[in-house]
Structure 1
Amino acid sequence: MADMDTEKARASAWFRSLRDEIVAAFERLEKAQVKGPLSGTAPGRFEVSETRRASEDGSDAGGGLMSVMRGGRVFEKVGVNVSTVHGQLGERAQAAMAARKGLPGMADDPRFWASGISLVAHMQNPHCPAVHMNTRMFWTPHGWWFGGGSDLNPCLERPEDTAHFHSVQKSHCDRHDADFYPRFKAWADEYFYVPHRMRARGVGGIFLDDHCSGDWEADFAFIQDVGRAFLPAFLPLIEKRRGIEWDEADKEAQLVHRGLYAEYNLVYDRGTKFGLETGHDANAVLMSLPPLAKWI
């Protein structure tokens, strides 16, 4: 398979542009007035740092930007990471990819290239749901794939918020294939399930991986719409809920739910495992963990 240099550059540029749009939208949200104990605090701002992938021989293996806001008026902790990395897959990653994708020859040519955006937001107000979103492109000499999705993680569930989040996901999926939303919603329900707790991590969304129809342009257009769906699905919920007063019982529910979130990300999340196994910056990989959590 050709190296697809032009396509890889376009994908990498798109993920960066999406990152810039989301960071700007979140900082605008921070500047809006809020009620309650944080009304007098200054709006949060993102701290931006470069990340580098560690290669075994010390050669350049790519990197990206880690953008984290802590202690804001709306966001207690939110990270928006973007990266483009390359190198050779280790033996464990080769075996996992060969098994999952049914690809021969990974050991003979284990080169890879990957680019994407990953976002996790943990909110100050327990009435505001936490959220996760990512989109990515992965390439090897044996094939290319897209993946990603987004899912909502409220500690205090509201059916109308869940319905809005899913309706936006569905409308963006339906632009490409009427079968996409029900298929990828079901995949999210399965993927974001926490077996040892016998419950879902949140109220779902969409999830897809290894997506390759053979038409790169069509698949790229679809993964762009997965990213475009995020802000209209999430921001109206926060704008509606950020002014609701909360009490200690609400905060307790939030911290306990965050414990569930942390358990899932450390034990089951495929992206966490891949990032750590391939030498990406550990702080960027573990950015998804909440600032505070509680177990009972």
Structure 2
Amino acid sequence: MAENTTEMRAEKARAAAWFRELRDQIVASFEGLEDSHAEGPFTEMDAGRFDVSETKRTAEDGSDAGGGLMSVMRGGRVFEKVGVNISEVYGTLGERAQNAMAARKGLPGMKDDPRFWASGISLVAHMRNPHVPAVHMNTRMFWTPHGWWFGGGSDLNPCIEYAEDTTHFHGVQQAHLDPHGGDLYPRLKAWADEYFYIPHRGRARGVGGIFLDDHNTGDWQADFALIQDIGRAFLPAYVPLVEARRGMACDDADKDAQLIHRGLYAEYNLVYDRGTKFGLETGHDANAVLMSLPPLAKWV
């Protein structure tokens, strides 16, 4: 059981504080990339900055049910659109969300006691230069009186693939996971390959990464350490790719390939992504939930 004891309340506070800390690190790093972009395409543009706004979740009875921060940069030199959101929400789950959660590993009994608490960070970056890959990352903690779990991961979504970028991204993920068990990276890589697959297109969304969900070994400290290392892997896995590709020349054909790939990304997020469905079903701010959608896309 995961009763809301003093210890559990402290653990929830630690998790929420970590997601905020990680958000602050990423926002500072991304604004630094904007400032340092001095050669190549798009340098004539102003350096982008994040617009930060509070988000609110309101319960069905009108009471406060938490919220978060939505941080979005639009129209930068390097980032065409990037969002880095954090949230801490709570209350009771509606019937549809109860049915979804009741099927989760270790979380029976939702219909008898549908209280919940959730906190996490969610990031999606759509890049100005088509040679720079788009990327997604999220980590989260979910609690009910019947159990708790961690989930999340990150995956790379290039429209123009470079094998060395894929190797680097996966290598950094593995280096951060291996201290938690040598079998973890291959298992989470395979999970990401399955999760980020688009059945109606018969292909993956990108070149993969790592993913886990419903993670509860019974040792909260160990599980929290793992989710922290998944978060810590993100910047060293991704920033060197941005630095290597942002100055490359690009043409109309490259941009067209980017827009078509963004259409693929939008299809996945609207049709299959569990986080999108959960956020909308639990009444969280729709703009924050749909932050992942690209600013422009194209279908053929």
Please give the range of the TM-score, normalised by the shorter of the 2 chains: over 0.9
Q: Which amino acid aligns with 1:32?
A: S
Q: Over residues 40-76 of structure 1, what are the superposed CA-to-partner deviations in whole Å (9 max), with x where a residue is unaligned?
A: 1110000000000121011110000000000000000
Q: Taking structure 1 as reference, are residues 76 and 243 closer, same or farther at Cα in structure 2, changes over 3 Å only?
A: same
1:261 aligns with 2:265: yes
Matches within 5 A, 1:161-180: 161-180=165-184
Equivalent residue, structure 2, for 1:61: 65
1:75 aligns with 2:79: yes
Equivalent residue, structure 1, for 2:104: 100
Distance 1:104 1:204 in 2: 31
RMSD: 0.8
Instruction: Give the drift of 1:99.
Output: 1.7
Instruction: Give the drift of 1:38.
Output: 1.6
1:52 to 41, 52, 56: 56
Q: Which amino acid aligns with 2:103?
A: A
Distance 1:18 1:94 in 2: 30
Q: Over residues 67-102 of structure 1, what are the superposed CA-to-partner deviations in whole Å (9 max), with x where a residue is unaligned?
A: 000000000000000000001011111111112326
Distance 1:105 1:240 in 2: 50
Distance 2:157 2:254 in 1: 15
SS at match of 1:127: coil
In 2, are the aligned partners of 1:155 and 1:254 still within 8 Å (CA)?
yes
Aligned residue pairs total 296
In 2, are the aligned partners of 1:34 and 1:73 still within 8 Å (CA)?
no
Distance 1:237 1:68 in 2: 21
Distance 1:99 1:151 in 2: 25
Matches within 5 A, 1:220-235: 220-235=224-239
Matches within 5 A, 1:1-296: 1-3=2-4, 4-101=8-105, 103-296=107-300
The percent of aligned pairs where both chains have the same amino acid is 78
Instruction: Give the drift of 1:177.
Output: 1.0
Q: Over residues 168-212 of structure 1, what are the superposed CA-to-partner deviations in whole Å (9 max), with x where a residue is unaligned?
A: 000101011111101100000000000000000000000000000
In 2, are the aligned partners of 1:152 and 1:203 still within 8 Å (CA)?
yes
TM-score of the two chains, using structure 1 as the length reference: 0.99
In 2, are the aligned partners of 1:34 and 1:242 still within 8 Å (CA)?
no
In 2, are the aligned partners of 1:168 and 1:233 still within 8 Å (CA)?
yes
Distance 1:161 1:288 in 2: 22
Unpaired runs of at least 5, structure 1: none
Q: Which runs of 4+ in 1 moved over 4 A?
A: none
Q: Over residues 116-148 of structure 1, what are the superposed CA-to-partner deviations in whole Å (9 max), with x where a residue is unaligned?
A: 000000000000000000000000000000000
Distance 1:186 1:36 in 2: 37
Distance 2:147 2:104 in 1: 13
Q: Which amino acid aligns with 1:295?
A: W
Q: Which amino acid aligns with 1:80?
A: V
Q: Over residues 211-248 of structure 1, what are the superposed CA-to-partner deviations in whole Å (9 max), with x where a residue is unaligned?
A: 00000000000000000000000000000000000000
Distance 2:178 2:106 in 1: 29
Instruction: Give the drift of 1:37.
Output: 4.4
In 2, are the aligned partners of 1:87 and 1:111 still within 8 Å (CA)?
yes
Distance 2:58 2:34 in 1: 34
Instruction: Give the drift of 1:2.
Output: 2.3
